[in-house]
Chains A and B, each alone.
Chain A
Amino acid sequence: MKRGNDFIVGLVVIGSVVAIVLFSLWLSQASLGSKEKDVVARFTDVGNAKVGNSVVIRGVQAGRIQSIELETTGWVLVKMSLDQDIKLPSNPVVVLSESSMFGEWQATIMERSAAPDDADVQQQLAQSAAVGRGNAIPGARLPDIAQLTAVAGRIAGDMSRVADRFQVAFDDRAAAELRQSIRNFADLSAELERTVRSQSQSLSQLGADVHKTVGTINATAVAVQRTADRVDSSTSKGQIHQIMDNVGQASEDIKVTSHDLRDASHSLMATQQQLSSVLTHADSVLGKIDRGQGSLGMMVNDPTLYQNGDALLSQMRELVAEIRAHPRQYLSVKIF
């Protein structure tokens, strides 16, 4: 009986202890036998973060907060245990934040550049990084819901006070003035609309012109670019130097040609003078001819010579015809 009691009690005790230990480990998601590495982060304030809260990398749970210790220097060191295989970002920081609206917090390990663009968070990270002791990662915490709610409550209180003051200030006279202001504002608005419409048309025209000008400038720019390309290509093979040499040579040739032209011009002037003299003489001769002076004048002005010549030609034609008709009378050809 006693041995039976001992066995049953021993069985229950061992079974209960094992069950309770396994139950606790299972609930805490402890990883028995798996290798883990510790990462330490430094914070000015950890908010409501607790031991056992999740550690998250890119939204995936990578470990848990193992301990939270307050240093004598005022910094709070948070030790996190991560799976051995997890690779941290190259420049890591840790941001503590609420993971839900019910007070649960988590630590998120992220790249320094991916940290929230909040002045307070950036300041916390900079202060933590500036300490630079040990291997602690810089850390910061986001404000929790309670703080945000407190700020919202303060804003609501301010708005309530403003509303109260507005209610006090808004009497009948203020209402009448407000109505007048609204009327004036309507007039002003109509005037503004007309002005805007007018300016809009001008702006449209101006815009079209500007567009056209821009097109021209673009074309010019393209041409300039093309020219520049050509200049660039020419410059690259030394053609400019050759062109300049050719231009120099051409200049020399032009210089010589110019000299020749100047000489030719002088000769031409002399020729012109001679021609003028010749023409004067020719004019004098023609005048004499026209006046019937001299042989040529008489020949030109006296029709007798023409008439005699014409009669001579008629006689000559008759003679030729006679000769053709009676050649033996005028020609006698003997051979031997």
Chain B
Amino acid sequence: MAQIMNVIEATGRWVRFRIEEAGRAGRFIEEAARATVSLRSWFPNATLQMRRLGVDSLPIGLLIAVFTGIVLALLASYSFTGAVPLYFVGTLVEKTITLELAPVLTGLALAGRVGANIAAELGTMRVTEQVDALETLAYDPDAYLVVPRVFAGTLMFPLIVGVAMIVGLGAGWLASIGFLQLSTDEFLKGARMFYTAFDVEYGLVKAASFGFAVTLIGCYKGLRARGGAEGVGNAATAAVVYSAVMILVLDAFWAMTWLHGRS
């Protein structure tokens, strides 16, 4: 009986903790949104964050896109051989890159790089009481630390993903010419056959939502860090895990709400 009571108590405690966490996250988002009004506090830092989170992340995003494009072309060729005309390699590469792989793979890579970076930086500031110092000096940590990062992530993720789409399709095209003996005209015929502007639009909007989620989670976990270096490490790990999960959740969310049922 006592054990049953313990189990029930643990379950209640877990639920209460999750609800409190959700409440804190909600309050954090609400405070960050309110802080966007203080343009003078965050806008001067936005450029620096765009450089660190966006421009410096371009190489990893493009590297992923290159290999994704090559693999997709070869995979499509392997799947289509003898059944489907080979120019559909272009169709598959275009659709897959723009709709799914460029946003998701780039998002996951940036979740590791950007999310961990933000969580570690802000966590260190928290455990070394630099955030407290800011508050003491009447700086709003949300406006000064969170908003520029979220703004930079939301703005720069789509740009990185957009360039990754171009590079990925180009890599698939080169792989088709080099490995599949597919002509440029055939590849472009397949790529253009079912292309609509919605493909790029959908991928970019998804990327923006990923950037928003990754930076927000990184900031939240970093500012919630406790207990020194270990706490910072835990915050970075949690930021990456939550960001990756959130990217997949958002991916499914957009597919169900925007892609599904669209003719």
Contacts and interface: CB of A to CB of B under 8 A. Distances in A.
A13 B53 CA distance: 13
Given A17-B159, A19-B162, A9 B194 contact: no
Contact of A19 (B166, B195, B196): B166
Contacts of A13: 50, 155-156, 159
B27 interface: no
A52 B58 contact: no
B192 A27 contact: yes
B55 A12 contact: yes
Interface size class, chain B:
20 to 34
Interface string A6-32: 101100110011011001100111000
Interface string B184-225: 000000011111110010001000000000000000000000
Among A29, A52, A104, chain B packs the most CB atoms within 10 A around the CB of A52
A187 B195 CA distance: 68
A50 interface: yes
A29 B156 CA distance: 27
B163 interface: yes
Q: Max chain A CB contacts within 10 Å: which of B50, B58, B191?
A: B50
Contacts of B196: 28, 50-52
Contacts of B88: 102
Given A24-B200, A52-B196, A16 B162 contact: yes
Contacts of B171: none
B192 to A, nearest CB: 6
A8 B51 CA distance: 7
B47 A2 contact: yes
Given A9-B54, A19-B163, A27 B195 contact: yes
Contacts of A28: 192, 195-197
Given A2-B47, A2-B48, A102-B88, A24 B197 contact: yes
A73 interface: no
A12 B48 CA distance: 13
Contacts of B200: 20, 23-24
A5 interface: yes
Q: What is the interface residue range for chain A against chain B?
A: 20 to 34
A323 B167 CA distance: 170
A12 B84 contact: no
Contacts of A51: 196
B50 A9 contact: yes
Contacts of B197: 24, 28
Nearest to B84: A102
B166 A5 contact: no
B94 interface: yes
B159 A12 contact: yes
Interface string B14-53: 0000000000000000000000000000000001101100
Contacts of B55: 8-9, 12
Contacts of A5: 47-48, 50-51
A20 B47 contact: no
A17 B54 CA distance: 14
Contacts of A17: 159, 162
Contacts of B169: 23
A200 B165 CA distance: 79
Contacts of A12: 54-55, 58, 159
Contacts of B159: 12-13, 16-17, 20
B6 interface: no
A51 B85 CA distance: 23
B263 interface: yes
A20 B192 contact: no
Contacts of B194: 104
Interface in A17-63: 17, 19-20, 23-24, 27-29, 50-52
B47 A16 contact: no
Contacts of A16: 159-160, 162-163
A103 B263 CA distance: 13
Contact of B193 (A6, A19, A24, A104): A104
A20 B54 contact: no
Nearest to B58: A12
A103 to B, nearest CB: 9
Interface string B66-82: 00000000000000000
A102 B91 CA distance: 11
B179 to A, nearest CB: 22
A102 B194 CA distance: 11
A13 B158 CA distance: 10
Interface in A90-120: 102, 104
Interface of B: 47-48, 50-51, 54-55, 58, 84-85, 88, 94, 155-156, 159-160, 162-163, 165-166, 169, 191-197, 200, 204, 263
Given A5-B51, A51-B196, 17 more contacts: A5-B47, A5-B48, A5-B50, A8-B55, A9-B47, A9-B50, A9-B54, A13-B50, A16-B159, A16-B163, A17-B162, A19-B166, A23-B162, A23-B200, A50-B263, A52-B195, A102-B88
25 contacts: A5-B50, A8-B51, A8-B55, A9-B54, A12-B55, A12-B58, A13-B50, A13-B156, A16-B162, A16-B163, A17-B159, A19-B162, A19-B163, A19-B166, A20-B166, A23-B162, A23-B165, A23-B166, A23-B200, A24-B197, A27-B94, A27-B195, A28-B195, A28-B196, A104-B194
